[in-house]
Amino acid sequence: MTEGKEKKTPENMSLKEKFSKEKDKFMKMDGVTRKIYFRDYYLLPLLLILCVIGAFVWFGRDLFASKKIIYSGATVGFDLSDEGENYLTKGFIKYLGKGYKKNKASVARNVLMKTYEEAKYNDMSMELIFTSQVSVGMYQYAMFTADELEHYENYDFYLDLSDMKAEEKYKDLDYYINPEGHVYGIRLPENVLEKMGCPDMEIYLCFVYLEKPTELNPSFVDYLFFS
């Protein structure tokens, strides 16, 4: 008795076979169905891939300009004024002194484009793009409104600030401590919020956990809270 050929399943298909099968399925659809299918199955992965590529282009552009970005952050759920952006970037580089004149700092303003009150936590694509940016090391810090920090507190990209909290110099700052006891953020004082162009808001500074930690985090805290 002759055995038949093994039936092809998605698990044992080659990448070329999967692509060919998907292409045939796509070509048989009408125009409206194609748009819906692309939106539901391919739009988000495509955006994430473009995001990762954009991260490398973003870093490379400034490396070739001989002004390496040495410190970068993002604001989540709120925007800065132009003066606030300069305060967090050019102002910080100036604070660091002459040894950093050829370097730059950057901040991505309102990376989610809108607040969660407007999005009602449904815009998962923007959330995934932001977390993928964090995972590839685009940011050393992020500033969250209280609502956004509560929403994101279960992610594992935060640097625990327990050691900083234990230091005499920093012990009296207003820290955000999650239910598990991890120290994840520092509330910004009103004078800093005014310089950023967002007074009367509850905003927290959080640092991103990196395998190769930056030495500029304490300097950034000193700049914001003590200069």
Structure tokens at 189: 């004082």
pLDDT of 15 reads 44
CA atoms within 13 A on the CB side of 51: 21
pLDDT of 135 reads 79
Structure tokens at 119: 């999005």
Please determine, for residue 221, whether its predicted confidence score (pLDDT) is greater than 70: yes
pLDDT of 157 reads 86
With bands split at pLDDT 50, 70 and 90, how would you rate the model's confidence at 49?
low
Model confidence over 38-48: pLDDT tens digits?
666 666 666 76
pLDDT of 131 reads 80
Structure tokens at 48: 């994430």
Structural domain boundaries of the chain?
14-66, 67-226
Distance CA 149, CA 77 (A): 9
Contact 223, 92 (CB under 8 A): yes
pLDDT of 64 reads 44
Phi-psi map region of 113: left, alpha, beta (phi>0 left; psi -120 to 50 alpha): left
SS3 for 17-83 is: HHHHHHHHHHHCCCHHHHHHHHHHHCHHHHHHHHHHHHHHHHHHHHHHCCCCEEEEEEEECCCCCHH
Given the structure tokens 């604070």, which residue do they identify? 95
- Give me the CATH topology for the region 67-226: D-Maltodextrin-Binding Protein; domain 2 (3.40.190)
Closest CA to 91 of 204, 81, 164, 58: 81
Model confidence over 116-172: pLDDT tens digits?
444 444 456 677 777 878 877 889 999 999 988 888 888 888 999 999 999 999 999
Closest CA to 159 of 106, 105, 108, 213: 213
pLDDT of 150 reads 86
pLDDT of 128 reads 74
* Beta pairing class for 183-187 and 175-177: antiparallel
Between residues 215 and 6, the one the model is more confident about: 215
Structure tokens at 140: 């050393």
Find the range with the poorest average confidence among 11-25, 61-75, 131-145: 11-25
Model confidence over 77-119: pLDDT tens digits?
899 999 999 999 999 999 999 899 889 999 999 887 654 444 4
